[in-house]
Amino acid sequence: MSDATALRAPTTRGRSPAPWRGVDLAEAMDEHDLYPVHEEDDVPEKPFHERLARYLRGALATHLPNKWVTGNVCMYWEERNFHRYLAPDVLVVDCEPPADPPDVHLKWADPPALLVIEVGSKSTFLKDEDPKLDSYGLDLRVPEYLYYHPTRRDLRFWRLANGGYLAVMPDARGWMHSETIDVWFGADEHGWLHVYAPSGERLLSHEEEARGRREAEGRAADMERQLTELQAELARLKAASTAG
């Protein structure tokens, strides 16, 4: 998903095309329901982009259990403006993960965003994939913004200052450090963007952690089986020795 400014009535999930008409925001059950998710902007994502975005969300969610980590959620910054929004691939919000996550993030009503990440070349359509510095920095005022284009190995990072975003320089490894969530980002030789803890340990996603647990449990079960077989063989040898 991406930003859009076309003056058309957006579609919403299971709602009429214009749910806000004749509705008083102050009387609404949930203000979030008035803002569309813009499903009409969804386009097929390349497999690499989809896997990378899923890894980034999973790794950050595992590492930051007290933060709400999500993605492709429309972020609005103007009340009653249903056409100006952005939907980053990864969004980290400064709050506990909600039990019933909203479909949109409202700048004036929700806890502040800490970090947004966009992965380039995510669309099969010809769309503007350049970093959206003005919208994220001046409109949404997100403290940090990471942009990565895997094909071009283009990793850029900005941090908010009084006048807008300032580019952050990588360290000697080519890694970028996030001050808001205290993690590092670095791409490998295959173009995969990894997340690292302050110690330098690579962060795993939920899927990777689960796979690691299954593999460890499998190794433990195999060792237990081998131990049981060894004990049985020793018992057999002892019985044979006693009988002889």
Enter the tokens of residue 41: 């902007």
DSSP state, residue 12 = B
**Stretch among 31-35, 102-106, 117-121, 169-173 having the lowest mean pLDDT:** 117-121
Per-residue pLDDT, 140: 96
Report pLDDT digits (tens) over 104-125. 999 999 999 999 999 986 554 4
CB distance 134 to 2 below 8 Å: no
- Structure confidence at residue 20 (pLDDT): 44
* Strand-by-strand arrangement of the 85-86 sheet: 85-86, 74-76, 104-106
Alpha-carbon span 151 to 55, nearest angstrom: 17
Tell me the average pLDDT across 166-184: 97
Q: What amino acid is encoded at 176 in this protein?
A: M
Q: Which of 19-28, 95-104, 172-181 has the lowest mean pLDDT?
A: 19-28
pLDDT tens digits for range 125-136: 445 456 889 999
Measured distance CA(114)–CA(92) in Å, rounded: 6
Please choose, from the candidates 122, 150, 144, 118, the residue with its C-alpha nearest in 3D space to the C-alpha of residue 131: 118
Dihedral of the CA atoms 29, 79, 71, 197 (nearest 10)? -110
Map residue 124 onto helix, strand or coil. coil
Q: Quick one: pLDDT at residue 22?
A: 54
pLDDT digits (tens, 9 = 90+) for 147-165: 999 988 999 999 999 889 9
The string of pLDDT tens digits covering residues 41-71 is: 665 567 888 899 999 999 999 999 999 999 9
Three-state secondary structure call for residue 195:
strand
Is a pLDDT exceeding 80 seen at residue 210? no
Is residue 209's pLDDT more than 70? no
- The answer to whether the beta carbons of residues 166 and 158 sit under 8 Å apart is yes
How far apart are alpha carbons 92 and 132 in whole angstroms? 17
Tell the residue number behind the tokens 């499903």, with chain if given. 39
Whether the Cβ atoms of residue 194 and residue 44 lie closer than 8 Å to each other:
no
Residue 7 pLDDT class (50, 70, 90 cuts): very low
Task: Please name the residues in contact with 1: beta carbons below 8 A apart, sequence gap of 6 or more.
Answer: 38, 41, 42, 72, 74, 87
